[in-house]
Amino acid sequence: MRYEVVLPAAGSGKRMGAGQNKLFLNLADKPILVHTLLVFEHDENCTGIWLAVKDEERPFIQALIDKHNITKVKGLPTGGEERQHSVHSCIKEMSAVDVVLVHDAARPFITIPKITELAKVAYEKGAAIAGVRAKDTMKVVHNGLIKETVDRESLWMVQTPQAFRYDLLAEAEDVAEKVGFLGTDEAMLVERLGHDIHIVECSYENVKMTTQEDLIFGEAILKQRK
Ligand code: C5P
């Protein structure tokens, strides 16, 4: 299934504490952002890449795109205050396609077979997101006290890519903007429309580079894959 992908890349990465956009940090020989871009560059079903960026970082990101021969980037719109705003700026700028994927630029280890599965389910059913089963026992805690142990069987940790029929995501984002709803992922916006969202079991390797120890996991994953 053909698709275009939106990569929000306009964050500041405060939790990484690197003093710069964490996407510019190297994993092995390349910046995190380039690893992510290359996955989609190499996927024959990907027909376009949209990157939400900060204005002041656009020249540097464009230079990375040129240096690494990334040919599929169709636009680098200005990102927003929150991740949701950054994604929305891309959705507004692109033309309608059948399927759009939203993927954190900070998750460089996503694999093409998983992307293919997500795009297919989204085309057939409207919405599909990547996730993994919770490994640990999960408890609800209020003010330092356990309130409840939650049945782990029904708990998933959700990742990206999140794949949608373009019209469904565009509608969900417009509605969210109108009522001022801010979600932590795109699925939340689509859930509010009452639409079913399918989960596609992904990998624990699809980790988001968020804090310093994630870089250690990242280097280990790259080493093992080599
Ligand atoms: O901060 P976090 O890692 O959760 O952000 C996920 C992705 O969203 C990152 O790739 C980051 O660059 C992007 N982002 C964005 N605009 C924001 C905040 C985050 O594009 N305002």
pLDDT of 226: 86
Domains: count for the chain: 1
- Alpha-carbon distances, residue 127 vs 61, 67, 117 (angstroms): 30, 34, 12
Containing H/E element for 187? helix 186-191
| Phi–psi pair at 168, nearest 5 degrees | -65, -45
Task: Work out which ligand 1 atom sits closest to the CA atom of 9.
Answer: 12
Distance 78 CA to ligand 1 centre (A): 13
Q: What is the mean pLDDT of the chain?
A: 97
Task: Work out which ligand 1 atom sits closest to the CA atom of 13.
Answer: 1
CATH of the domain at 128: 3.90.550.10
Decide: helix, strand or coil at residue 82.
coil
Domain that holds residue 188: 3-225
At residue 72, does pLDDT exceed 90? yes
- Distance between CA atoms of 222 and 130, rounded to whole angstroms? 21
pLDDT of 13: 84
Distance 152 CA to ligand 1 centre (A): 28
Q: Which residue in 74, 69, 79 sits closest to 23, CA to CA?
A: 79
Distance 26 CA to ligand 1 centre (A): 17
User: Which residues line the pocket of ligand 1, CB cutoff 6 A?
Assistant: 8-11, 23, 52, 79-83, 86, 104-106, 208, 210
- Distance between CA atoms of 108 and 33, rounded to whole angstroms? 7
Q: Write out pLDDT tens, residues 135-169.
A: 999 999 999 999 999 999 999 999 999 999 999 99
pLDDT of 207: 97
